[in-house]
Amino acid sequence: MTALQLTNVCKSFGEFEVLKDINLTVENGEFVVFVGPSGCGKSTLLRVIAGLEDATKGTVAIGDEVVNIVPPAKRGIAMVFQSYALYPHLSVRDNMTLGLKQEKQPAAVIDERVNKAVQMLDLSAYVDRRPSDLSGGQRQRVAIGRAIVRDPKLFLFDEPLSNLDAALRMNTRIEIAELHRKLSASMIYVTHDQTEAMTLADKIVVLRDGRIEQVGSPMELYNNPANQFVAGFLGSPAMNFFKKGPVEVPENGTLGVRPEHLRIVKNGRIKGTVAHVEWLGGDTNLLVNSDQGEPFTVRVFGQDATRVGADIALDFDDSAAFIFDHAAMRVRT
């Protein structure tokens, strides 16, 4: 059985079409990440699945049931928001039990589920505190706990880590991945952060302007992007694009080479001047202006000694180069 099936889903706000003919299947137990630039429609798509917005056209099926006219509370979903959306006047435990009480679950079931979630999320020390007395990371764990206790068919996460600092974001990301393994639950996760998408997803859905650009596992999309947009969106630093390429490209086409595939050599097909150096400790990013006037990035393992102003030559294996045609579709590697 599939967890979710979207068929020809469209969504317009007045004249403005935000989602255009979305078709997607989420299998049971899958962790699916919607990723794309700001305004591409990720949150709207999640809200259509949750029932917080109605699809203008198409069907939304959760499990075997078409839910287009089913209200959010009856869809068997639980949603976790960036803003946590906790009740400030209730304790952690009460925030987690409230939904179950409203569902009129028996007290024993409530206790069992809440205790299990508290343990799983390492929240035992905080159950009597109010949200204002917790850190951002702890608040987000409570919000996740509140979703877990509902035992939903489908978890929906809307940018849940955006309010956390970088270190906490990474820890919480790992916790969410562990939670997914423990619960074997179906999860959909919205983010604009390609690192979160790459590290969490079984399946990434890349959206642009309300359309799906490509669906696949992180490595499928990284190694075989269908087009220049996907190639440029996944990977950090981003793929370099050369119009005046050192290899032949179709008319008005583009050559793409990832920063980690460029090597500094004595005589290379690309020549340029180093404009900026970023030493990250483990590796170094060189920002270079090519002799053809095109800026690009080179990622060097370790602490590179190249300085700003240096003239360098670079090359790459042709097997690691991507060729895009005039319409930005990938024609070959």
Residues near 238 by beta carbon (within 8 Å), at least 6 away in sequence: 232, 259, 297
Q: In angstroms, give the least distance from the CB of 150 to ligand ATP.
A: 24
* CA dist list (Å): 18 to 44, 173, 189, 233: 8, 28, 19, 20
Q: Where are the beta strands (DSSP E) in 53-132?
A: 57-62, 65-66, 77-81
Q: Smaller CB distance to ligand ATP: residue 38 or 132?
A: 38
* CA dist list (Å): 22 to 154, 192, 231: 19, 18, 21
- Cβ burial of 307 (10 Å; 0-12, 13-18, 19+) is exposed
Q: In angstroms, give the least distance from the CB of 106 to ligand ATP.
A: 38
Interaction of residue 192 with ligand ATP, rule CB under 6 A: yes
Q: In angstroms, give the least distance from the CB of 46 to ligand ATP.
A: 8
Q: In angstroms, give the least distance from the CB of 11 to ligand ATP.
A: 8
Q: In angstroms, give the least distance from the CB of 45 to ligand ATP.
A: 7
Q: Smaller CB distance to ligand ATP: residue 13 or 279?
A: 13
- DSSP structure string for 179-195: HHHHHT-EEEEEES-HH
- What residue type is 98 in one-letter code? L
Q: Smaller CB distance to ligand ATP: residue 43 or 194?
A: 43
Torsion of CA 312, 313, 318, 319, to 10 degrees: -40
Q: Smaller CB distance to ligand ATP: residue 118 or 200?
A: 200
Q: In angstroms, give the least distance from the CB of 159 to ligand ATP.
A: 7
Is the previous residue joined to 88 through a cis bond, with omega within 30 degrees of 0? no
# binding residues, ligand ATP (CB under 6 A): 12
Q: In angstroms, give the least distance from the CB of 168 to ligand ATP.
A: 20
Among residue numbers 10 through 29, which ones bind ligand ATP (CB under 6 A)?
13, 16, 18
Binding to ligand ATP by CB under 6 A, coded x per residue (else -) over 152-191, reads ----------------------------------------
* CA dist list (Å): 177 to 119, 167, 171, 174, 279: 16, 16, 10, 5, 30
Instruction: Report d(CA 172, CA 303) in Å as an integer.
Output: 29
- DSSP structure string for 82-94: TT----TTS-HHH
Q: In angstroms, give the least distance from the CB of 52 to ligand ATP.
A: 10
Among residue numbers 30 through 49, which ones bind ligand ATP (CB under 6 A)?
36, 38-44
Interaction of residue 148 with ligand ATP, rule CB under 6 A: no
Interaction of residue 54 with ligand ATP, rule CB under 6 A: no
Contact 312, 264 (CB under 8 A): yes
Q: Smaller CB distance to ligand ATP: residue 95 or 140?
A: 140
Chain positions contacting ligand ATP, by CB under 6 A? 13, 16, 18, 36, 38-44, 192
